[in-house]
Amino acid sequence: MTTALNEARVTGMDCSACAATVRASVERLPGVEAVEVDFATGRLVWEGGDRTAILAAVRSAGYDVADPGAPRAMPRFWRERRLQHAAGGGALLLAALVARLADGPALWLELAALVVAAPQPLRGAVAAVRARRIDMNVLMVLAAVGAVPIGAAGEGATVLVLFALGTGLEALAQTRARDAVRRLLDDQPDVVTVVLRSGTAVIPVGDVPVGAVIEVAPGARVPIDGVVTDGASTLDTSSLTGESVPLDVAPGAAVLAGSLNGGGRLRLRTTCVAADSTLAELVRLTERAQANRGTTERTVDRFARVYTPAVVAVATVTAIAPPLVADGDWATWLYRALALVIVACPCALVISTPVAVVSALAGAARHGALIKDGAALERLATIRCVAFDKTGTLTTGRPAVVGVRATAQIGADDLLALAARVARSSSHPISRAIAAASEGGDGADDVTEIPGLGLRGTIDGDVVLVGNQALLAGEGAASDGAEALLASADQAGATPVLVSRAGRLLGVVLVADPVRADAAAAVGALLSAVDHVAVLSGDRQPAVDRAAQAVGITDARGGLLPADKLTAIEALRAVHGPIAMVGDGTNDAPALAAADAGIAMRGATDVALDTADAALLSDRLARAAWLLRHARRSRATVRQNIAASIATKVVLVALAPLGYVPLWLAVAGDMGLSLIVTAWSLRLLGAGVGRTPIDTIGA
């Protein structure tokens, strides 16, 4: 029997060392089979064991824990316990300073400040020692307590006060990053109005089944994905897609949960349950995206595991060797060793990557791009070539009439109207396109759809054929002049639909899939960002050439089977480097998987979405260029964070044994840098579009 997974949300973890302490505290409990703790998202997942005992163990380790679905209050300065301890300890230190100036009992006030600031790091240190780990709580408590016997109680208290202040501020900032996407759910309605045969009823949103008809009032948020069945309005989708322009919707339009309804009342037929809506899935995937970490983060963690013991060893030698070998002063060298102990904390280094990655993932989600994990974000930053599918990606995926070529026997408008009368009886996409292009006239009689060939109908007693050349030949209709008409269709890159009446060829209707309105601009942005852009399509070469020419792409490859697309991906990678594939169909899934990064368009099939590394929730193709820019900006932020962290540590480690780093400066340098790294990473939450040219960011 498989044990069910349990999940909780842990707050107060400052780096991966804290996550390791939480993991070790839970692992040692009876009945626990497996434990996963993700510092960046605050998720604790385990199998087996007693839930109450596990949550108690996490709290005893110095961290707060709650159920994953519990309400999340916005962080407030005065609610953070570490900041309360820092404020109390800081007030006592200030009083000690005044007392020292007045020859008062300063020592007792300094010791009191140390005690007031100590609870959180002391609890964490005890938990870490029990778990046989050395984390920053152990190092800070060791430095603070070690300062007392050498007459530096004030500095010891300052260490813990600054540590409490720094970790408290970090907790607030990191909570903002972790909850940035989940706050999209805060305004979601808890109840929804369902339309019944007998009227309407208000029920919990979680109880609404698939296929139910619900009402969305003006000014309300859409609670569940659905299709408009009645009403018209404009929707603000900025919280989902980053689009500032309202979206007009009418019957038949698909609507995503989280959209804000404008002035019209809408009725929707739900296409999923609330728990499976696009918004809920976006939040779930973004919260769990850190599970698959990038190479940079794994490398930093491995370095930190070596760095901390190494610096602690150097600190031990610093405290013992000079007094024993060179008759140095024990108190002086112990003080310098304690400064090194503080510097041994790799907090800024180990949070330099995960906080930036979580902020980048959340920022992308808030702007309509869902990235699966940190590893995918890292790959997106390396892309130098982009390949597009044509149908449904560069084009709208909805065929339309793009031209009419009539013979001398009939006018172009009359030819189109004739074809449309027959086409109205068919649901084929090409037939719908022809029918939509001409509204006049009644339908045809006795319409028969001949698979793979076209339509046959009767109008005023005459047989009218609408289809390909094989249809005309099979029905015995004359096809004189058909070759010239088909050649014109090839030149236009369109699908030819021949029309004949009473055995005479009257002309051809050209049907094509028009390119997206923003495709040319999107391709232009990409061409300034990467080395090469190509089109890989299974459509006929003339149609692919036409679409590519319209958007400014010179490398157009048509007639490709899914296996051929894989070969093309490998060939492009060999010449241009890491490649991204942008597509939306099941036939694109192999290419999406084979590319270094796969990007699925909105409306993509489930197979394509499961295969891709990122998905665009907006119909705007320009988001693909924005996504690459955002990934590069994220990579640059991570590199800047790592460089600043390592440089600061190198300086402090070099100067501490020489006596140039007092305890307060060591902790201020470490926690201050952690705050700077966190704040610098939080810029990625904004992820503004168009701030910096893509080719200048982190290249």
What contacts 647, CB < 8 A, 6 or more positions away?
none
Does 27 or 2 have the greater pLDDT score? 27
Does 493 or 377 have the greater pLDDT score? 377
From 389, 539, 588, 670, the catalytic residue: 389
pLDDT of residue 72: 52
CA dist., res. 242 & res. 617, Å (int): 9
pLDDT tens digit sequence for 223-256: 898 999 999 888 887 666 655 567 788 888 888 8
Q: Considering only CA atoms, which of 356, 367, 336 is closest in space to residue 239?
A: 367
Question: In CATH, what class is 191-276?
Answer: mainly beta
pLDDT of residue 556: 92
Does 395 or 289 have the greater pLDDT score? 395
Mean pLDDT of 372-380: 87
Mean pLDDT of 473-493: 78
pLDDT of residue 653: 86
The CA–CA distances, whole Å, from 558 to 384, 392, 542 equal 22, 15, 8
pLDDT tens digit sequence for 64-80: 777 665 555 544 555 67
CA dist., res. 436 & res. 108, Å (int): 87
Determine what percent of the chain is predicted with pLDDT higher than 70.
Answer: 86
CATH 3.40.50.300 matches 5-71:
no
| Summary count for the chain: helices (H), strands (E) | 25, 26
Is a pLDDT exceeding 80 seen at residue 692?
A: no
Give start-end residues of each CATH 3.40.1110.10 domain in the chain.
400-512
pLDDT tens digit sequence for 493-530: 777 889 999 988 898 998 888 888 888 998 999 998 89
pLDDT of residue 416: 92
Which of 320-334, 338-352, 519-533, 679-693 is predicted most confidently? 519-533
Give start-end residues of each CATH 3.30.70.100 domain in the chain.
5-71
Give start-end residues of each CATH 3.40.50.1000 domain in the chain.
370-396+515-628
Per CATH, which fold does 370-396+515-628 belong to? Rossmann fold (3.40.50)
pTM: 0.72
Range with the poorest average pLDDT among 154-158, 224-228, 487-491, 682-686: 487-491
pLDDT of residue 495: 79
Q: Is the dihedral of CA 198, 201, 207, 212 positive or negative?
A: positive
Mean pLDDT of 575-580: 94
Mean per-residue pLDDT of the chain: 81
If pLDDT is split at 50, 70 and 90, which confidence band does 173 have?
low
CA dist., res. 559 & res. 542, Å (int): 10
Per CATH, which fold does 400-512 belong to? Calcium-transporting ATPase, cytoplasmic domain N (3.40.1110)
pLDDT of residue 299: 72
67 is a catalytic site residue: no
Mean pLDDT of 124-144: 79
pLDDT tens digit sequence for 280-310: 766 666 555 555 556 666 676 677 677 778 8
